Amino acid sequence: MAKKAFSTTMDAETVKALKLYAVTQDRALNDVLEEATVAYLEQKAAQDPDAALFSRRANEPLEDCLAAIERRISKIKRQRA
């Protein structure tokens, strides 16, 4: 799978703890973050069937997913009304 760079900000102590964990495991910080992110997405997919659908479609062009995203937003709005 191709990798794509992105930038974010986090609490300094969280970043420090992540770096220390990566070092103690003799792993790259990026690998630790990617593993944690995948686990988070799997957890959310288990809680929300729509999240599982979007996760499976992550490799599709965004334009192909827009209708499904709009339906999901409409569904959430109806549930909150």
Q: Using one digit for the tens of pLDDT, what is the confidence trace for 17-69? A: 999 999 999 999 999 999 999 899 888 878 877 776 767 777 777 777 777 77
Write out the chain in H/E/C secondary structure.
CCCCCCCCCCCHHHHHHHHHHHHHCCCCHHHHHHHHHHHHHHHHHHHCHHHHHHHHCCCCCHHHHHHHHHHHHHHHHHHHC
Selected residue with higher pLDDT from 68 and 78: 78
pTM (2 d.p.)? 0.61
